[in-house]
Chains A and B, each alone.
Chain A
Amino acid sequence: MGISIAVAAAVLLFLLFVVWVKSALAHEERASAASESLKREGEFASPCPPEFITQIFAKKDLEYVSALGSPQLKRLFAQERKSVALFWVQQISAQIRQIMREHLQASRSSKDLEFATETGILLRYGGLQFLCGVLFVSIELAGPQGLQGLAARADTWARRIRDAQLGFHAAKETGRVHGV
């Protein structure tokens, strides 16, 4: 009994690992594609307003569709919302990646960098990319509904990094790199 539970747990862990790796690779590919398309479109200045993020991840629309009693509609809804939610995750991931690229370029030419500030930015960036990965896998596995909290957190972190980068640019332009 104990052995079979252990085997089942190992198989489950393995399957989760496979899903994780598969999603992470897909996420990586799509994020680079999104980054390229963003570079072309110059969309970095317009993050998605929070009310729309709430709408994408909220359960209200799902409840409405479920009450219609059509499995096909429910399936279509799940498919549509999943696609929009994944697109949003790719967008913020690509935006932050681009911001970090610009930040690194700017940092190279800056003479008075602060170690603590740079470490903070790097940690935030790493944390956000990890959060995007978690969101991506969770959306792939279970859909976006119920992930409102995580999505809101990712959005807040992305805004902070974006603001920090704007602050960095402003400070660099005035010749004083501080408080990034």
Chain B
Amino acid sequence: MGASVRLVSVQDAYDDLLQRTLSRIPCDLARLIYLASTRDYNSGTYHHEGLAARFQADTARKALEIAHRQVFYAVSAYPLEDLVRELETYLQTSRENPDEFLRAWQKLEPYRVAIPLEANPTIARLFLSNIRLALAILRFRREGHPTHP
């Protein structure tokens, strides 16, 4: 790739990530899961082939890290009612069987990997707690309880 198209600014990489990838993902929770999936489980560093090809690998890594942190804080700040809606949207777009999805998420807690490395510990706790509650609320609704405030 020529130097003319190789942008170096983290902001540019971030904007690119936002426009090309994140804007196509239907909800913040799905964005969060996607961004967390770009992080290596062993080293904690972020990888994104396309972004690294358009920008320098280090710049892409920083942009992913910033985006991950921002989306994480956004999701953690959601009122419970909005988080339940987010989870519902995520569940629908996952095309999994809802009951199996809820069972797996409640049992395995895969959303734990969505927490950024440097997240504030209280916010991390709030996030985990809110997801647990949102899952319990969705399950409650699926079990045929009609109340929808």
Contact = CB atoms under 8 A, between A and B. Distances in A.
Interface stretch (A3-11, A62-70, A135-143): A62-70
A73 interface: yes
B147 A48 contact: no
B129 to A, nearest CB: 4
Main secondary structure on A side of the interface with B: helix
B129 A64 contact: no
Main secondary structure on B side of the interface with A: helix
Contacts of B79: 55, 60-61, 64
A80 interface: yes
A68 B129 contact: no
Interface string A62-103: 001101111011001100110110011001000000000000
Given A76-B136, A77-B133, A51 B77 contact: yes
A56 interface: yes
Interface in A40-70: 41, 43, 46-49, 51-52, 55-56, 60-61, 64-65, 67-70
Contacts of A52: 76-77, 120, 122-123, 126
B126 A65 contact: no
Interface size class of A (residues with CB under 8 A): 20 to 34
Contacts of A46: 118, 120
Interface in B76-94: 76-77, 79-81
B137 A68 contact: yes
A138 to B, nearest CB: 18
B27 to A, nearest CB: 19
5 closest cross-chain pairs (CB), A and B = A67-B149, A61-B80, A80-B129, A48-B122, A88-B122
Interface of A: 41, 43, 46-49, 51-52, 55-56, 60-61, 64-65, 67-70, 72-73, 76-77, 80-81, 83-84, 87-88, 91
Interface of B: 73, 76-77, 79-81, 118, 120-123, 125-126, 129-130, 132-133, 136-137, 140, 145, 147, 149
17 contacts: A41-B121, A52-B120, A55-B77, A55-B126, A56-B122, A56-B126, A60-B79, A65-B80, A65-B137, A68-B145, A69-B147, A73-B140, A76-B136, A80-B130, A81-B129, A83-B129, A87-B122
